[in-house]
Structure 1
């Protein structure tokens, strides 16, 4: 997406510090690495206590209205039963009813879903929260479809997460959505959260899968492939990037990444092909070429290892753009 995304972390007194700090650091790192994120922290009061007893100060006031392309993330609290009866929490619920614009994304972490419910934002929607608060959320939003055992749930402009460390999973998902998979992978690696968990199923983004290890040589080879998956990398070239011998890289890859070098490379080529197919403006033959496959036939053969339908059918189900048959523009 073009243009900056304004990210607003919303806190209330006795905020659970990890609910805020983990996702906020992920967003800060994404911006530092060149992502188009403008990160703010706001609250109904200029300073407040956290779950660890330390105070946060110099907090911005809740903006009367949010700018276009905004993301609001409401962090959870340590003792929501008491905390959300206080005037500050009630002020946030009231603010949520008026401040978001039609294009505003609103997300909650852990018990923050209860504030979204108090604002009426979860009515008729799918949502989730921390496993200990499922019943409380159902009582607060009786028309919502509260889902258990989910890390996070997306329904339209509203995203809710189970909280604690899943706030980082949600942040990485949003970074991937607005800044690209490669940026999310770099942030995950910097946070030493190599395996980003998905919200609605256990499947990982191909750009982040097989990265839940700490071996620097394997990461160097994976970084090289991820930077240019369409290139016909030889094992010798990747071994040179990794500063090990080809035989040693093969062994390290299998041991630490859990897959072979070729399988990993093909997975990223298929991920690139999915992105190109979803665009809808190129033929399957062109997609195969740009993703690095030797031919459309080779592409289709590898594709069927990952998908149950042909590339053309997969694209038809996801793209509303007309296909420019035969057109192949390099990028």
Structure 2
């Protein structure tokens, strides 16, 4: 059994409440739904003021050692004190240099990226932060490849987000990676989110696209497809699961999801194929088959609707 992911929210003075509460609620809901997340709320102080004037109390101290399989989420604040002028912020910077293990993933929300930069964690990496802090982040880490046109960046073991509501997008992204797309979509719906947004296509998840609606019948049909996108679902089968007629389901899909049933299923098959292409032992023929396409020719035809490069070229680029 895979061990639980320990999620450590790191809070500093004047913490931005939406930076903190939105992602924390996403992980809490995921854990409540069965995902293996163990939440911790810590900081250099046991009590910190928030951006709305209230206090968060009872924070755990920054752990001397992080457990295996940890995710650290450094939350943004309304302050950006210079190094050496604020003991709490300096303590977090020092802790980020010393506490993470080799298997620890580090994430920041909004101005949290500045502390990551000061800890040397963004050197040479792609990263982002709130648009008002882009220039500051570039000054803090001149070698970082700071992106100013996206909501979050996943650079393998270091993730950064623009903050505020984008912190929820980042949390959903991590939940999808660890617990699966279906559960991430369920959490997004519970939060009445327009699912996960993205500033560039590389961040847009087909598993969460076309779900920025509130129609339960369409969501039921989409859940069925997402559980097994390779299966040749008929509209009649999906309509039965959604408790509507086939004709009505087709109308509802077009109206609320903005795509046809077939187009939605094909988008998930292509997403599945993208993942399978990262396995070099699978031939293109096997990838097509396991993704639900009738033939390699059919696979390539549908693939071209979503990608400028051929599957084989996509595989080569992903291996770099």
> Normalising to structure 1: TM-score of the pair?
0.88
Matched, 1:104 2:104: yes
SS in 2 for 1:279: coil
- Give structure 1 stretches of 5+ with no counterpart: 321-331
The total of aligned residue pairs comes to: 320
Moved segments of 4+, more than 4 Å: 81-84
Cα deviations across residues 282-323 of structure 1 (Å, max 9, x unaligned)?
333333333222333333332232233443443344359xxx
Residue 203 of structure 1: how far off its partner (Å)? 5.7
In 2: Cα distance, 1:307 partner to 1:130 partner: 29
Corresponding residue for 2:206?
A: 206
- Give structure 2 stretches of 5+ with no counterpart: none
In 2: Cα distance, 1:102 partner to 1:38 partner: 19
RMSD: 2.4
In 1: Cα distance, 2:137 partner to 2:312 partner: 42
Alpha-carbon distance change, 281 to 220 in structure 1, aligned in 2, over 3 angstroms: same
Cα deviations across residues 15-60 of structure 1 (Å, max 9, x unaligned)?
1111111111111222222222222111112222211222222211
Alpha-carbon distance change, 220 to 278 in structure 1, aligned in 2, over 3 angstroms: same
In 2: Cα distance, 1:149 partner to 1:307 partner: 21
Alpha-carbon distance change, 319 to 217 in structure 1, aligned in 2, over 3 angstroms: same
SS in 1 for 2:176: helix
SS in 2 for 1:153: strand
Corresponding residue for 1:216?
A: 216
In 2: Cα distance, 1:84 partner to 1:11 partner: 18
Matched, 1:171 2:174: no
Matched, 1:235 2:235: yes
In 1: Cα distance, 2:180 partner to 2:148 partner: 28
In 2: Cα distance, 1:84 partner to 1:179 partner: 40
Indicate conservation of the 8 Å contact 1:193/1:212, yes or no: yes
Indicate conservation of the 8 Å contact 1:152/1:162, yes or no: yes
In 1: Cα distance, 2:162 partner to 2:283 partner: 41
Corresponding residue for 2:149?
A: 149
